[in-house]
Chains A and B, each alone.
Chain A
Amino acid sequence: MLPFLFNPSRPMDVEILARIQFAFTIAFHYIYPPLSIGLGVNMVIMEGLYLKTGKPIYEQMARFFTRIFALIFGIGVATGIVMEFEFGTNWATYSKYVGDVFGSALAAEGIFAFALESGFLGVLLFGWNRVSPKVHFFSTVMVTLGSMFSAIWIVVANSWQQTPAGYHVVGTGLNARAEITDFWEMVFNPSSVERMLHVWLGAFLSGAFLVISISAYYLLKKRHVEFAKKSFTIGLVVALIASYAQLFSGHEAATVVSEYQPAKLAAMEGHFDSSAKADMYLFGYIDKKNEQTHGLAIPGGLSFLTHFDFKAPVTGLKSFKPEDRPQALNIVFQSYHIMITCGMLMIALTTVGVILLRRKKLFEKRWLMMVFAWSVFLPQIANQVGWYTAETGRQPWVVYGLLRTSDALSQAVKANQVLFSLLLFMFVYLFLFTLFVFLLNRKIQHGPGFHHDNDESEGHSPHLEEMAENFG
């Protein structure tokens, strides 16, 4: 892969490098915000139960997962600032084009969301002994709401790129730009609500499965058993609701794609011929050269999902000029199918989990605990490939139908600069990820007990007694 990166003379290289850099930095960043949102929701439930019941085990839970949250949140913020800067550094033409439209969404995101979550984060992490439990709970809710609000505005901005609305184009050529005409039409553009729900649910899943996975690990190791059973149950309930809801939300999102981005939908299912019914593949691959798709399919499945008729024709890729089609057909196709597979697996797992929980047999099944311990990767993979589908399927456009990705670059930036920063980020992020995994593991190994890195200050003995009672 690398040799073609080292030819700094052609402008094409800037485009490829900038795209790789964006894909890499956003994919890495996107490990963290969904975990923050999902973990936040679980923490709100745990701390809410503590307030309601007064049982110390729920406080232990809230404190333990807050420590995990702190680790995740920190990396999320640091890698998020990179994204904000990258728009300007690598995609200056794009920034000029969309600035007027995105402006209000970004302003709202900064003021209503970022400030909210980062402001209350201090109280969430350090305020346990400084504010009352109710005020602390309020802070946890605010941080979670703040992270959910951030998701709203960034998804609104991305949805506008998928299905632009509430704007008009001013100027031509390099000076062309979209100007906002109707704020609410921009916010509620045709795909934002559906995609927002889809993203939120995906985030809930990644947080819930992290809780499940850590709990399952403890159960396998027979450590902190009471704690693990209770956390597992909370995570499982959240995951069950979210995974079923995701089924409907996913269908809604796909319906919007079929209406507004037919080329993307066709790529997702490898459908070429507009006059024919469209199949729905369980798995397969696209033979791009011969414009055919091979694999195991439900005949007319896609026709049924879009038109409720197994024989209805669906717009295919042949209806689009080659330069207007997504180029990486197989990436779109495979990402989409991996996402569906992960989704189905999550539904199956949570359903089995809840049934066995009702029969009080769940925690004895070691093999199942093993599966649950690894299940943390399912929502992560689904979130990643889901975005690959959305973003690769939107190509060759950066703003669908309006601005091509190849026209969106910074004019002043050279290939070697982008290459330098790409390598820099790869190095830094690799280091960051290694540290993250190392520290996460240490936190999990340490368990929900007291945090003993502060030798100087005295531990609070009531807590130690509580721990002794709970974990004997």
Chain B
Amino acid sequence: MYTFLGIDYASWWFLVIGATFTGYAILDGFDLGAGAIHLFLNKEESRRLALNAIGPVWDGNEVWLVIGGGALFAGFPKVYAAAFSAFYIPFMLFLTALIFRAISIEFRSKEPWTWWRNWWDVSYCVSSIVVTLTLGLTLGNILKGLPIDEQGNYQGTTLDFLNPFSLMVSITTLSLFMMHGAIYLVMKTENRLYAKLTIIVKNTTIFFVLCILLLSFYTLLYIPHLSHRIKLNPWLFFVPVAMVLVMANITRSISKRKYRFAFISSAIIISLLLIIVAVELYPNLMLSSLDPRYNLTVQNAASSPKSLGIMLTVAAIGVPLVAIYTTFVFWTFKGKVKLDEMSY
């Protein structure tokens, strides 16, 4: 049996994917959120500063999505194939939004014309929102379960994705990223823009608290399989407890204007939410709403242990390297954002 520290390779890879998507949500989450609140900033200079606050890092952040997608393709090809062909239309919209977002950031500063910059500001904001909503919609449908048959082929229609639960997950993701992004921006700015952002931080935080409360009630009432494991293992209740405490710490840090702590706390919130997702899903990766026997699980959807072993080796060598130079890049651009001649 291929195991490491008593855990089989496929489960290790489940953890790797979980960690990658968590890293993605924390990192790209703040620049997507910054995009989502972009139009709340009115002045040209504010918008430029906000854009340059994420400028040097957004592309590196987005790579985590590429790595996450690749990790899914590599470790669980059946899940990759089933999910991507099922989410066909949402994913195409997601890709289009991702393209528009990348070029909005890149192209906005290339011309000084007002109409040009306004157009890319709108495009940047709308595409950030669409990317976030489609990510949330996907997560919601994965959690709820999809009509997939024994071959892993999707049997529903595109409209099936728009169910109340998934829409709520979608909106909650947006509110979470908006809060996360606003806190990041306030950390990176000063003076008038800083003052303006402190208000946005408060409003987005209230928005998130409302969304997560509603979503929690809805889940407990109507989607019982998502609290099943915590119900059976009361010690896991520490996760929701931790979440409430960290949430309290966000509001506390905000009122004390200690935005770095608030940012760390919102990153922990993202991690805890995804830990709940992992705890409740495992060992399933995709739930079939047609028949539980068709569920794609860590065991029946995994690549061969040989392949997983190689990939775990690659990850073990590569992840510390990535961590080192990601830290280097963030350290290079630490502190409040300043515009210079190379800025967007």
Chain A residues near B (Cβ < 8 Å): 70-71, 74-75, 77-82, 84-85, 87-90, 92-93, 95-96, 98-104, 106-112, 114-116, 118-123, 125-131, 142, 170, 174, 177, 179-181, 183, 410-413, 417, 420-421, 424, 428, 432, 435, 439, 442-443, 450-451, 453-457, 459-460, 463
Q: For residue A460, which residue of chain B has the nearest CB?
A: B341
B78: nearest chain-A partner, CB-CB? A96
List the B side residues contacting A79 at CB < 8 Å. Answer: 99
**Beyond A110-B66, A115-B60, A420-B92, 17 extra complex contacts between A and B, CB < 8 Å:** A74-B102, A82-B99, A85-B84, A88-B81, A89-B88, A92-B82, A92-B85, A93-B81, A95-B81, A98-B77, A99-B80, A115-B63, A122-B59, A125-B56, A421-B89, A453-B111, A463-B341
Query: CB distance B311 to A459 under 8 Å?
Result: no
Q: How far is the CA of A70 from the CA of B62 in the complex (A)?
A: 16
How distant is the Cα of A128 from the Cα of B343 in the complex, in angstroms? Answer: 10
Residues of chain A contacted by B242 (CB below 8 angstroms): none
The chain A residue with its CB closest to the CB of B84 is A88
CB distance from B62 to the nearest CB of A (A): 7
Asked if A424 and B92 make an inter-chain contact with CB atoms under 8 angstroms apart, the answer reads yes
CA distance A432 to B99 in the complex (A): 9
Q: How many angstroms between the C-alpha atoms of A274 and B144 in the bound complex?
A: 59
Per the bound structure, the CA–CA distance linking A106 and B71 in Å amounts to 8
| B80 proximity list for chain A (CB < 8 A) | 87-88, 95, 99
* Residues of A with C-beta under 8 A to B107: 435, 439
Query: With A and B bound together, what is the CA distance between A109 and B311 in angstroms?
Result: 11
* Proximity string of chain B (286-319) to chain A, C-beta cutoff 8 Å, 1 when within and 0 when not: 0000000000000000011011101100110011
Contacts A88-B85, A100-B77: A122 and B329 contacting too (C-beta < 8 A)? Answer: yes
Q: Tell me the chain B residues, 35-69 only, with Cβ under 8 Å from chain A.
A: 45, 48, 52, 55-57, 59-60, 62-63, 65-67, 69
A109 to B318, CA, bound (A): 10
B81 with A108: CB separation less than 8 A: no
Residues of A with C-beta under 8 A to B315: 107, 111
Q: Are B311 and A103 in contact (CB under 8 A)?
A: yes
Contact assessment for B91 and A89 in the assembled complex, using a CB-CB cutoff below 8 Å: yes
> Is B6 in contact with chain A by the CB < 8 A criterion?
no
- For A110, give its contact among B48, B70, B86 (CB under 8 Å): B70
- Are A116 and B85 in contact, with the CB atoms below 8 A? no
Instruction: Select B304's contact among A122, A179, A412, beta carbons within 8 Å.
Output: A179
- Beta-carbon contact of B110 and A453 below 8 Å: yes
Shortest B156–chain A CB gap in Å is 9
A70 CB contacts on chain B under 8 angstroms: 106
Cβ contact within 8 Å between B95 and A122: no
Using A101-B307, A106-B70 as known contacts, say yes or no to A420 and B89 having CB atoms under 8 A apart.
Answer: yes
Please name all residues of chain A whose beta carbon is closer than 8 Å to the beta carbon of B76 when the two chains form the complex.
Answer: 99
- Which chain B residues numbered 102 to 133 have a C-beta less than 8 Å away from chain A? 102-103, 105-107, 109-112
Q: Which residues on B sit within 8 Å (CB–CB) of A93?
A: 81
Contact A110 B85 (CB under 8 A): no
Closest 9 pairs (CB-CB, A-B): A99-B77, A88-B84, A103-B74, A122-B56, A111-B318, A92-B81, A110-B67, A410-B85, A74-B106
Asked whether A129 lies within 8 Å of B326 as measured between CB atoms, the reply is no
Give Cα distance in the complex from A245 to B78, angstroms: 42
Total count of chain B residues near the partner, CB < 8 A: 78
Q: Does B151 contact A (CB under 8 A)?
A: yes
A183–B74 Cα gap in the complex (Å)?
14
List chain A residues, Cβ under 8 A from B75: 103
The answer to whether A126 and B56 touch (CB under 8 A), given A95-B73, A100-B303, is: yes
User: Is residue B83 contacting chain A, with contact meaning CB distance below 8 A?
Assistant: yes
* Chain B residues with CB under 8 A of A181: 306
Rounded to whole angstroms, the CA-CA distance of A87 and B69 in the bound complex is 11
Nearest-Cβ distance from residue A419 to partner chain B, whole angstroms:
11
Q: Assess whether A111 is in contact with B88, with CB atoms less than 8 Å apart.
A: no
B109 with A107: CB separation less than 8 A:
no
User: Do the beta carbons of B85 and A107 come within 8 Å of each other?
Assistant: no
Q: Are A109 and B70 in contact (CB under 8 A)?
A: yes
| B227 interface contact, C-beta 8 A | no
Q: Closest approach, in angstroms, between the C-beta of B128 and any C-beta of chain A? A: 14
* B96 proximal to A (CB < 8 A): yes
| Distance between Cα atoms of A470 and B262 in the complex (Å) | 50
CB <8 Å contact, A82 and B310: no
Residues of chain B with a CB closer than 8 A to A88's CB: 69, 73, 80-81, 83-85
- In the complex, B325 has a CB within 8 A of chain A: yes
Within the complex, the shortest CB–CB distance from B224 to chain A, in Å, comes to 28
Cβ proximity bits B321-341 to A, threshold 8 Å, 1 near / 0 not: 110011011001100000111
Q: Are B342 and A129 in contact (CB under 8 A)?
A: yes
Q: A75-B103, A95-B73, A96-B81 are in contact. Are A451 and B342 (CB under 8 A)?
A: yes
In the assembly, what is the distance between CA of A451 and CA of B78, in Å?
49
- In the assembled complex, which residues on chain B have CB atoms less than 8 Å from the CB atom of A78? 98-99, 102-103
Decide yes or no whether B153 CB sits under 8 A from chain A.
yes
Residues of A within 8 A of B63 (CB): 110, 114-115, 118-119
A127-B56, A424-B92 known; A179 vs B151 contact (CB < 8 Å): no
Distance (whole angstroms) from the CB of B41 to the closest CB of chain A? 15
B92 touches A89 (CB 8 A): yes
* Interchain CA distance A339-B92 in the complex, whole Å: 33
Chain B nearest CB, measured from A110 CB (Å): 4
- Which chain A residues lie closer than 8 Å to B87 at the CB level? 89
